[in-house]
Amino acid sequence: MDRPQAGGHKPHGIARGPWRRQRQTTHVPPPTGQIPLYQLEQRNRPDVTQLSSVTLVILSHRSLWMDRSERTSSAKPPSQVKNGTNGTMTSLPATLLSDLHVQYIKSLDTIVPPSEFALLASRPEFTGIWPLQKKDDLEYWLTEHLRVNGVYWGLTALDLMNNIDALERDQVIKYLQDCQHENGGFGGHLNHDPHLLYTLSAIQILVTYDRLDAIDVDKVVSYVRSLQLPDGSFSGDEWGEIDIRFCYCAISCMSLLKRLDAIDVPRTVEFVVRCKNYDGGFGSQPGSESHAAMVFCGVGALAIVNALHHVDADLLGWWLCERQLGNGGLNGRPQKLEDVCYSWWVLSALSILGRVHWINKEKLISFILSAQDTEAGGIADRPGDMADVFHTLFGVAGLSLLGYPGLKSVDPVYCMPKHVIQRVGLAERYRV
Amino acid sequence: MADAFVPYNKRPEWQDITPIPQDDGPNPLVLIAYSSDYTDAMNYFRAISSKNELSERALDLTTQIIGMNPAHYTIWNYRQNLLLALNKDLHAELEFIDELSKERSKNYQVWYVASAVNPDFRATHYISPTITRHHRQVVVERLNDSSRELPFIAYILEEDSKNYHAWSYRQWVITRFDLWSGELPYLDELLIIDVRNNSAWNHRYFVVFEGPTKPTQEFLEKEIEFTKGKIRLAPNNQSSWNYLKGILARSPNPTTADDILASFCAELRDSEIVSSHLLASLVDVSEARAKRGDKTSLNQGVKVGRGGMIGYTGSPRLLYDAWLFMRCFETCLIFMPPVNTRLATTWQRSTTRSVKNTGCIASRTC
């Protein structure tokens, strides 16, 4: 098997893959397996027999400055983390660096500013566009199919940070028009096949801009309707993959277009309820394990059509609040590591169920803030990792749900700015 | 596959094709930089897909591109068309996916995400392993042959025992090909390796209740004993607690189910076990009993959310237990009177002591 020919870039050798590049490498993974009875404190203690004496010295030193609460999580010490891309030790940011994040998102769709281009081109190492690419190249083309999602993530984050004009509105709309297919669906990028995931993102962007007039809405409606199956579920595209995510996409999309009448809502609800598990959560398909992101899709879809009576709010709320770990971050399933994006998936569901106070807000806020890149901007999945636009949105949106000052309110059901949802008259029609 | 990449414009069999470069417009919103090999292959792909060419060389081209970027769903779609149109041997296709998945699983974690570090939803969004999984499902469905599937899934689960896609694919395979019989022994094994494997517990529930034969009362009793054993092993394991409550919730007689849970909790309490799930279960039992109008036999329980207490029944000694528990987990949780929750209001009504008594403990804890 050939390896990806990405021009000899280093992610090849990294065991965790290019999309999880870390800004530093001193991460000690938590051991898996059984925890001895009562020995809770040993949970994340590394197996000392396997470590060199040097490491042991470092570990014992670590324990001196480690906060007690840190020992049950994989997090780095709270006071100092290598935060910058060059690995310098900096203090953790105590506030949201909005200006930096706005710059970061803006930088994603350019190679270099024109003003700097001439200078770079005059350098001896200049060999064309490739080395100048701002984004890490391998990841960038691997995620080509997510470009429309990327615009939605970026735009929504920008609007929540009061900077919606940082992207060229007309350019975005022209781009989306080019991504729409004859059958009404949107592809993830130019020349990519249509899919529900990107169709929803496109509609979300257009509604945010109040520019639904720029596309043929009826075609979108018939495209979404064509993907519904007899059991009420939706396939993501004509190839027939079925997933609760697509139910959410369809319902959210039709609701934003005010065309819920075009699909069979009761049957969709039936399918979503079939994805509910004994622990109160939702899985991607009937029988699949509960997963916080699927919980968001299930609860969000039911909230839109005001069918939350199918959810046991106490049972699910308990499962959701159990997602918070000692360092304040949230995970997506039991025994998984925390990740900033779950600040959205878990929190939005708790918010819809009216149970945000079941988690520790202060600790979650400081966890999200600690995952910021204080130099290049953006928010990563967890402290020390590379930032990306996906986690930037869900970090910012999570902070917004937690009432962080200076951010616009986000709607927990649509993951769009609340003022947009109010403008289109869809605000909070559900009851728990 | 070839060791060195030969650009398509240097290959004789591609000379009749004029590649179509990506047209991002004069002022693209999102510029994408490609490696030259990938760009080259994609230019030829655009050319052949624009005229819907269904040929061997087109299939080779998709193999090449998928090797470089398996998340490109448009290529997979085209490949499915090709396989059917050319009437290709689907066993060979399965081998291709096998190799791709295993290779990826080790080096790039595309089909699945090997390290415990990587949250899989991000993978779903970023690298879309569901595409490969779905493609495999389509191929296997057509072949109507499951012989390779369970060993393949077991291989993936050996690398990452909580791989979401592998587990949901496993559920499809055992349902579609009626392969239920080996599941419980397999799960026993996995739970011995890791009793906290929530995916395995979830699959166990699926096997027990979605299988072709309805579980007998006797079987369920054995299953309850099995789960109790696993809880004794790791009393703070929420997966086994949820599973136990999940089975009990299917019981035709809720009163007996509550009694089973209550007596099990009492047994653990007698052995001085400190477990948040144990204390929370006591609240659940009491709540269930209260709902049936039985308020006499209150169990002592306390439900502590990550942001504070959300349910409480019994004596202040319980609060001390809860406090102990929180110290154990080193999560400093603030006790606060529960607000606006149905659970809390139920319990404020039915507890003998006011929740507000917790104030003194709050000052000690935080």
pLDDT given for residue B192 in this prediction: 94
Does pLDDT of A259 surpass 60? yes
**Residues B351, B316: Cα–Cα separation, whole Å:** 11
Q: Which CATH number fits domain A109-274: 3.10.20.70, 3.40.190.10, 1.50.10.20, 2.70.70.10?
A: 1.50.10.20
Task: Report the largest interatomic distance among the alpha carbons of chain A, rounded to a whole angstrom.
Answer: 68
pLDDT band at B312 (very low <50, low <70, confident <90, very high): low
Among the listed residues B324, B75, B253, the one whose alpha carbon sits nearest the alpha carbon of residue A188: B75
Q: Which amino acid is at A292?
A: A
What is the interface pTM, i.e. ipTM, of the complex?
0.75
Burial class (CB in 10 A: 0-12, 13-18, 19+), A360: buried
Does pLDDT of A133 surpass 70? no
pLDDT given for residue B119 in this prediction: 33
Which phi and psi angles does A157 have, rounded to 5°? -60, -40
Q: What whole-number percentage of chain B has pLDDT above 70?
A: 66
**Residues B35, A137: Cα–Cα separation, whole Å:** 8
pLDDT given for residue B97 in this prediction: 82
Q: Which domains, ranges and CATH numbers included, belong to chain B?
A: 215-330 (1.25.40)
Q: In this predicted model, what pLDDT tens digit does every residue of A207-250 receive, in sequence order?
A: 999 999 999 999 999 999 999 999 999 998 877 788 899 999 99
**Residues B220, B257: Cα–Cα separation, whole Å:** 11
pLDDT band at B163 (very low <50, low <70, confident <90, very high): confident
Comparison of pLDDT for A64 and A323, the residue scoring more: A323
**Residues A35, A334: Cα–Cα separation, whole Å:** 14
**Residues B61, B5: Cα–Cα separation, whole Å:** 12
pLDDT band at A288 (very low <50, low <70, confident <90, very high): very high
Q: Which helix (H) or strand (E) holds A104?
A: helix A98-107
Contact assignment for B71 to A341 by CB distance below 8 Å: no
Among A103-112, A257-266, B252-261, the range of highest mean pLDDT: A257-266
Q: Please, which residues bridge with residue A417 across strands?
A: A410
Whether A28-93+295-432 shares its CATH topology with A109-274 is answered yes
C-beta separation of B171 from A287 below 8 A: yes
| B2 interface with A at CB cutoff 8 Å | yes
- State the sign of the Cα–Cα–Cα–Cα dihedral A314, A319, A320, A324: positive
Contact assignment for B303 to A144 by CB distance below 8 Å: no
| A109 interface with B at CB cutoff 8 Å | yes
3 state DSSP class of A67:
coil
Residue B175 contacts by C-beta under 8 Å, 6 or more apart in sequence?
Answer: B210
Side-chain-side CA neighbours of residue A54 (13 Å): 0
C-beta separation of A361 from A402 below 8 A: yes
Contact assignment for B22 to A277 by CB distance below 8 Å: no
Cβ atoms < 10 Å from Cβ of B354:
11
**Residues B257, A18: Cα–Cα separation, whole Å:** 49
Does pLDDT of A179 surpass 70? yes
Does pLDDT of A22 surpass 60? no
Comparison of pLDDT for A336 and B130, the residue scoring more: A336
C-beta separation of B220 from B248 below 8 A: no
Per DSSP, the residues of B81-95 read: HHHHHTT--HHHHHH
pLDDT given for residue B319 in this prediction: 59
What is the third-level CATH fold of A28-93+295-432?
Glycosyltransferase (1.50.10)
**Among all residues of chain B, which has the CA nearest to that of A278?**
B246
Mean pLDDT of chain B: 73
Residue A221 contacts by C-beta under 8 Å, 6 or more apart in sequence?
Answer: A184, A254, A257, A259, A262
Q: Please, which residues bridge with residue B312 across strands?
A: B302
**Helical segments of chain B, H only:** 36-50, 56-68, 73-85, 90-107, 120-127, 129-143, 149-159, 164-176, 183-193, 198-210, 217-233, 238-249, 254-270, 276-291, 316-329, 342-350, 359-365
Among A116-120, A189-193, A363-367, B1-5, the range of highest mean pLDDT: A363-367
Judging contacts by C-beta atoms under 8 Å, the chain B residues touching residue A108 are 30
Least confident of A164-173, A332-341, B266-275, B317-326: B317-326
**Residues A164, A221: Cα–Cα separation, whole Å:** 27
C-beta separation of B69 from B32 below 8 A: no
Query: Domain locations in chain A?
Result: 28-93+295-432, 109-274
Q: What whole-number percentage of chain A has pLDDT above 70?
A: 70
Candidates A141, A283, A335; nearest CB to B34: A141
| A313 interface with B at CB cutoff 8 Å | yes
pLDDT band at A149 (very low <50, low <70, confident <90, very high): confident
Chain centroid to CA A285:
20
Rg value, chain B, Cα: 28
Comparison of pLDDT for A154 and B330, the residue scoring more: A154
Among the listed residues A346, A359, A67, A318, the one whose alpha carbon sits nearest the alpha carbon of residue B336: A359
Q: In this predicted model, what pLDDT tens digit does every residue of B240-275 receive, in sequence order?
A: 999 999 999 999 898 999 999 999 998 998 887 778
**Residues A225, A219: Cα–Cα separation, whole Å:** 10
Q: Which helix (H) or strand (E) holds A89?
A: strand A89-91
Tokens at B140, concatenated? 């296997």
| A334 interface with B at CB cutoff 8 Å | yes
Residue indicated by tokens 């035709």: B252
Q: Which amino acid is at B326?
A: M
pLDDT given for residue B310 in this prediction: 61
Average the pLDDT over B7-34 and give the result: 66
Q: Which amino acid is at B32?
A: I
Q: In this predicted model, what pLDDT tens digit does every residue of A372-399 receive, in sequence order?
A: 999 888 999 889 888 888 899 999 999 9
Q: Please, which residues bridge with residue B364 across strands?
A: none
pLDDT band at A168 (very low <50, low <70, confident <90, very high): confident
pLDDT given for residue A17 in this prediction: 34
Residue indicated by tokens 């403008």: A423
Helix axes A217-226, A196-209, angle to 10 degrees: 150
Does pLDDT of B307 surpass 50? yes
pLDDT given for residue A368 in this prediction: 96
Residue B53 contacts by C-beta under 8 Å, 6 or more apart in sequence?
Answer: none
B91-108 per-residue burial string, b: 16 or more CB within 10 A, e: under 16: eebbebbbebbbbbbebb
pLDDT given for residue B304 in this prediction: 66
Which phi and psi angles does A389 have, rounded to 5°? -70, -30
pLDDT given for residue B221 in this prediction: 95
Contact assignment for A17 to B341 by CB distance below 8 Å: no
Q: Please, which residues bridge with residue A188 across strands?
A: none
Burial class (CB in 10 A: 0-12, 13-18, 19+), B350: middle
DSSP 8-state symbol, B52: T
pLDDT given for residue B156 in this prediction: 82
pLDDT given for residue A247 in this prediction: 97
Q: In this predicted model, what pLDDT tens digit does every residue of B342-365 receive, in sequence order?
A: 444 333 333 322 233 232 222 222
pLDDT given for residue B275 in this prediction: 80
Residue B178 contacts by C-beta under 8 Å, 6 or more apart in sequence?
Answer: B212
| A284 interface with B at CB cutoff 8 Å | yes
Among the listed residues A226, A320, A234, the one whose alpha carbon sits nearest the alpha carbon of residue A284: A234
Average the pLDDT over A322-349 and give the result: 92
Tokens at A45, concatenated? 């203690």
C-beta separation of A343 from A382 below 8 A: no
| B37 interface with A at CB cutoff 8 Å | yes
Least confident of A120-134, A220-234, B18-32, B352-366: B352-366
**How many residues would you count in chain B?**
366
User: Catalytic amino acids of B?
Assistant: 106
Among A4-18, B15-29, B144-158, the range of highest mean pLDDT: B144-158
DSSP 8-state symbol, A193: P
Comparison of pLDDT for B295 and B47, the residue scoring more: B47
Contact assignment for B239 to A321 by CB distance below 8 Å: no
Q: In this predicted model, what pLDDT tens digit does every residue of B56-105 receive, in sequence order?
A: 999 999 988 887 777 677 888 888 889 889 988 888 888 888 777 666 54
Does pLDDT of A48 surpass 70? no
Q: In this predicted model, what pLDDT tens digit does every residue of B197-246 receive, in sequence order?
A: 999 999 999 999 999 999 999 999 999 999 999 999 998 899 999 999 99
Which phi and psi angles does A202 have, rounded to 5°? -60, -45
pLDDT given for residue A311 in this prediction: 96
Q: Which amino acid is at A251?
A: I
Candidates B134, B161, B334; nearest CB to A239: B134
Residues 232-291 of B with CB under 8 A from A: 232-239, 242-243, 245-247, 249, 273-274, 280
Least confident of A22-36, B75-89, B135-149, B326-340: B326-340
pLDDT given for residue B311 in this prediction: 62
Tokens at A132, concatenated? 């100048």
Residues 80-99 of B with CB under 8 A from A: 80, 99
**Residues A311, A301: Cα–Cα separation, whole Å:** 11
